[in-house]
């Protein structure tokens, strides 16, 4: 039980690392004061550009992936890795390092999915990109892609 609590705490702290805030500081910007005011990947793309956005995307994906892989890496039985991954999502959304503010955790959630099932991650990415192309709206794309992935997962058994 103590291992699970430690992994949840580590996942929360990983998720709490404010990637967008850290990258924005390099550009002498405050994401809280620019764009949507959100510190996540989308606002970073909008305010700081593609290179900074891709960096924050990768950092946020990594937070979700590393958190979710903990039970596998440390051979802890009896806990679903997704439960630990939720710790990173909570940390990203309510960062202890950023006055309990954060992003919407779309990229961190995608990182969790990447660790748990890379095939579904690829499907989610394809859905997301398709809806970005159709709507040009990141929020719409993530909102529509998520339930579609759940529906697809109910009728398939894809995995590595």
**pLDDT tens for each residue of 14-64:** 999 999 999 999 999 999 999 999 999 999 999 999 999 999 999 999 999
- pTM, two decimal places: 0.91
- pLDDT of 1: 86
Other C-beta atoms closer than 10 Å to the C-beta of 74 total 11
* 131 vs 59: CA distance, rounded Å: 23
Q: Write the pLDDT tens digit of every residue in 123-156.
A: 999 999 999 999 999 989 999 999 999 899 888 8
Q: Are 64 and 89 in contact (CB under 8 A)?
A: yes
Q: Nearest to residue 19, comparing CAs of 81, 83, 87, 104?
A: 104
């Amino acid at each position: 039980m103590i291992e699970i609590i430690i992994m949840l705490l580590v996942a929360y702290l990983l998720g709490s690392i404010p990637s967008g805030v850290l990258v924005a500081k390099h550009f002498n910007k405050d994401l809280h004061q620019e764009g949507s005011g959100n510190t996540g990947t989308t606002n970073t793309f909008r305010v700081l550009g593609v290179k900074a956005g891709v960096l924050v995307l990768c950092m946020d994906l990594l937070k979700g992936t590393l958190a979710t892989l903990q039970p596998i890496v440390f051979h802890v039985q009896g806990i679903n890795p997704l439960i630990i991954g939720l710790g990173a999502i909570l940390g990203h959304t309510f960062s202890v390092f950023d006055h309990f503010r954060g992003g919407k955790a779309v990229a961190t959630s995608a990182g969790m999915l990447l660790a748990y099932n890379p095939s579904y991650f690829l499907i989610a990415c394809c859905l997301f990109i398709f809806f970005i192309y159709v709507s040009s709206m990141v929020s719409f794309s993530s909102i529509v892609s998520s339930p579609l992935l759940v529906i697809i997962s109910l009728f398939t058994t894809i995995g590595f």
